[in-house]
Chains A and B, each alone.
Chain A
Amino acid sequence: MADGIISTGMDETASREIAPAPKLPTPTGSPPAWSELADQAGDLNNRAQILHSDTDDLHIDVVMREWQSRSTDFVRQDMPTLLRSLADLGFSWRHIARLVGVSVPAVQKWRRGQPATGQSRFNAAAILAASALIEEHYLVRDVASWFEAPIVLGYPITAIDLYASKKPQLVFRLATGKSDPEQVLSAFDPDWREKYRSDFEVFESEDGGLAIRAKDW
Chain B
Amino acid sequence: MPRNLEPPNGDSNDWDVLYLARGDEEVVVHRPFLTGDIFAGVTVQAPRSSPKTKDVMIIQHPCAMRPNGVDLASSILVAEVHRFPVLTADKWSGSGKLMPLPGLLAGVTSNRKNQAAFFDDTYHVHPLDLTRRIACLSLRGVNLLLQRWVYHSSRVIVPSFDFDSAVTPVYEQADIIEEWCEIAMDAGRTLEEANNDAHAWLREVDQGRTREKALEEPQFRPLIRRGARMAASKWRAPSPPSD
B219 touches A148 (CB 8 A): yes
Cα-based distance from A172 to B162 in the complex (angstroms): 27
Q: Does B120 contact A (CB under 8 A)?
A: no
Number of A-B contacts (CB under 8 A): 80
Cα-based distance from A94 to B225 in the complex (angstroms): 12
* Per-residue contact bits, chain A 20-33, to B (CB 8 Å; 1 contact, 0 not): 00000000000000
Cα-based distance from A212 to B166 in the complex (angstroms): 7
B221 touches A92 (CB 8 A): yes
Closest to A207 in B: B63
Given A92-B175, A94-B138, A94-B175, CB of A145 within 8 Å of CB of B218:
yes
Partner of B225, one of A92, A103, A195, A207: A92
With a cutoff of 8 Å between Cβ atoms, the chain B residues found around residue A92 in the complex are: 172, 175, 221, 225
Cα-based distance from A156 to B161 in the complex (angstroms): 7
A144 touches B222 (CB 8 A): yes
With a cutoff of 8 Å between Cβ atoms, the chain A residues found around residue B1 in the complex are: 194-195, 197
Given A92-B172, A94-B138, A194-B1, CB of A148 within 8 Å of CB of B221:
yes
A212 touches B221 (CB 8 A): no
Closest to B106 in A: A105
Q: Considering residues B20, B169, B222, which has the most beta carbons from chain A within 10 angstroms of its beta carbon?
A: B222
A89 touches B222 (CB 8 A): yes
With a cutoff of 8 Å between Cβ atoms, the chain B residues found around residue A149 in the complex are: 218-219
With a cutoff of 8 Å between Cβ atoms, the chain B residues found around residue A209 in the complex are: 63
Q: Does A181 contact B (CB under 8 A)?
A: no
A90 touches B139 (CB 8 A): no
Give the residues from 73 to 123 in chain A that come closer than 8 angstroms, CB to CB, to chain B: 87-94, 103-105, 108
Q: Does B159 contact A (CB under 8 A)?
A: yes
Give the residues from 208 to 226 in chain B that come closer than 8 angstroms, CB to CB, to chain A: 213, 216, 218-223, 225-226
A105 touches B21 (CB 8 A): yes
Partner of A200, one of B20, B158, B172: B158
Give the residues from 170 to 217 in chain A that come closer than 8 angstroms, CB to CB, to chain B: 194-198, 200-202, 207-212
Please report the total number of B residues contacting A with Cβ < 8 Å.
34
With a cutoff of 8 Å between Cβ atoms, the chain B residues found around residue A150 in the complex are: 218
Cα-based distance from A149 to B222 in the complex (angstroms): 11
Q: Does B113 contact A (CB under 8 A)?
A: no
Q: Does B121 contact A (CB under 8 A)?
A: no
Partner of B161, one of A103, A144, A198: A198
Q: Does A43 contact B (CB under 8 A)?
A: no
Jot down 27 A-B pairs with beta carbons below 8 A, ordered by A.
Answer: A87-B229, A90-B221, A90-B223, A93-B175, A103-B16, A104-B138, A105-B21, A105-B25, A108-B28, A142-B219, A142-B223, A145-B218, A148-B219, A156-B161, A156-B164, A158-B218, A196-B159, A196-B161, A197-B1, A200-B159, A201-B162, A202-B162, A202-B165, A207-B63, A209-B63, A212-B158, A212-B163
Chain B interface (Cβ < 8 Å from any Cβ of A): 1, 16, 19-21, 25-26, 28, 63, 138-139, 158-159, 161-166, 169, 172, 175, 179, 213, 216, 218-223, 225-226, 229
Q: Could you list 8 further interchain pairs (A-B, Cβ under 8 angstroms) beyond the known A94-B138, A145-B223?
A: A90-B222, A94-B20, A103-B19, A104-B20, A148-B221, A148-B222, A156-B165, A200-B159
